[in-house]
Structure 1
Amino acid sequence: MTIPAAELAPPRSAVRHSIVEDLLALATGTLIAAIGLHLIKTAGAVTGGTAGLVLLLTHLLPWQFGMIFALVNLPFAVLAWNRKGPRFVVSSVLAIVLLSTFSSFQPRLLPLDGANPVYAALVGNLAAGIGLLIVLRHHSSLGGFNVVALVCQERFGWRVGYVLLALDATVVVLSAFTAPLPTVALSAAGVAILNLVLVINHRPGRYPEAL
């Protein structure tokens, strides 16, 4: 009797990434996200989530992105510890440190003077979404809104992309106080692209080991 191939394969819920795979993924995802955020900042636009909130603060405070990003994410560590466990917190802290470090290098290693702002904003959000997707799929996050979205997905079944879209929209609205309307509109389009990446590719049950 021939056993169907589907029965020979291990259950999807049993599939786990190795530690080396997780570390490589975090490094890759945070680097791509850092490049995306650098493009967005160069365009003068904002993005959503904690990163978007920090980008707004960089226009008001004389501190670098990495320092503000690390400080803003501290309160969310408590929520992550209670809801997601210590492994998730450690992984997320590592991802935040990597993103902060990579972000501090971008202005020197990737100067973008003269870049088209529309292209930079849209492609930057696309890159940030792809980087975030990689991080989420390896049982980690970039802190802040990511933690809230993951908790909502687990408890209520709400898709991460939709939760983040609602939170990101709030950040974009706040950007109207520091940016002209064309920039706000461009930022809104970029946020839609970023979250579309997550809505399409990060669904409950599709990638169990990341939830």
Structure 2
Amino acid sequence: MANVTDKRSPVGLWTSSSEKHSLIEDVQAVLAGSMLAALGVVLLQAANLLIGGTAGIGFLLRYSVDISFGAAFFLLNLPFYWLAYKRLGPVFTVKTFSAVAVTSVLTGVLPKVITISAIDPVIAALFGGLLIGCGMLILFRHRASLGGFGILALYLQDRLGWRAGFVQLGLDCVVLVLSFLVASPFVILCSVIAAVTLNLTLAINHRTDRYIVR
């Protein structure tokens, strides 16, 4: 009987297989996902909107005390790396730490090179939420996240089968309730639109039974 040749490409720096991403693909995904998420954050900041998750807590701190969103976002994510390391592995943790770091830096740099003089809050909510959702979707599909609630949502999806988008939406609602302490009802309404747009993007497009590449 003739030998059957394994036609799968070896996984290395440049090459990937149908089951695993290459290193270059993962690096590209971390950069692309972080860039999209940072741009979404800039749109939300331009309209003084909020969002859920640790990003939402970062916004609350930015509007309440003298700290930049990037610094608050980076610091808030530190406790979640332990869960990521223990439950999702060191590779996931390193990629997530990198994504959070890049996003934190970009949210401080982009407002200096992109000037938004006026933006409708509803438009900012829709496009900002969509951009962050797409950025997180890229990261999720490469076994990474933007930290915080995203780590918890991915863990619960892997362990219990709960949709990551719906889990994060529930957690985001808790953060948005706290937003009543610092924002007007209209701002909170637009922020809810952003959170729903973000999490529906994840819930509809990210399913482990459809996308299995690691």
- TM more than 0.5: yes
Give the one of 117, 141, 147 matched to 2:145: 141
**1:204 shift after superposition:** 2.5
Work out whether 1:90 is the aligned partner of 2:94.
yes
Work out whether 1:200 is the aligned partner of 2:204.
yes
- Say which SS state the counterpart of residue 208 (structure 1) adopts: coil
Listed as ranges, the gaps of 5+ residues in structure 1 are 1-7
CA contact (8 A) 1:159 1:204 kept: no
Q: Runs in 1 of length 4+ with deviation above 4 angstroms?
A: none
Aligned residue runs from structure 1 range 92-171, under 5 A: 92-171=96-175
Q: Which residue of 2 aligns with 1:73?
A: 77
**1:9 shift after superposition:** 8.7
Aligned partners of 2:158 and 2:35: how far apart in 1? Answer: 27
Identity between Structure 1 and Structure 2 (%): 41
Aligned partners of 2:53 and 2:45: how far apart in 1? Answer: 14
Aligned length: 201
- Say which SS state the counterpart of residue 189 (structure 1) adopts: helix
**1:209 shift after superposition:** 2.8
Q: Which residue of 2 aligns with 1:185?
A: 189
Listed as ranges, the gaps of 5+ residues in structure 2 are 1-6, 10-16
Q: Which residue of 1 aligns with 2:3?
A: none
TM-score (norm 1): 0.91
- Larger helix share, 1 or 2: 1
CA contact (8 A) 2:121 2:190 kept: no
Aligned partners of 1:133 and 1:52: how far apart in 2? Answer: 18
Aligned partners of 2:213 and 2:114: how far apart in 1? Answer: 34
Superposition RMSD on alpha carbons, in Å?
Answer: 1.6
Q: Which moved more, 1:107-116 or 1:81-90?
A: 107-116
- Say which SS state the counterpart of residue 57 (structure 1) adopts: helix
Aligned partners of 2:56 and 2:41: how far apart in 1? Answer: 9
Amino acid at match of 2:188: V
Aligned partners of 1:131 and 1:183: how far apart in 2? Answer: 23
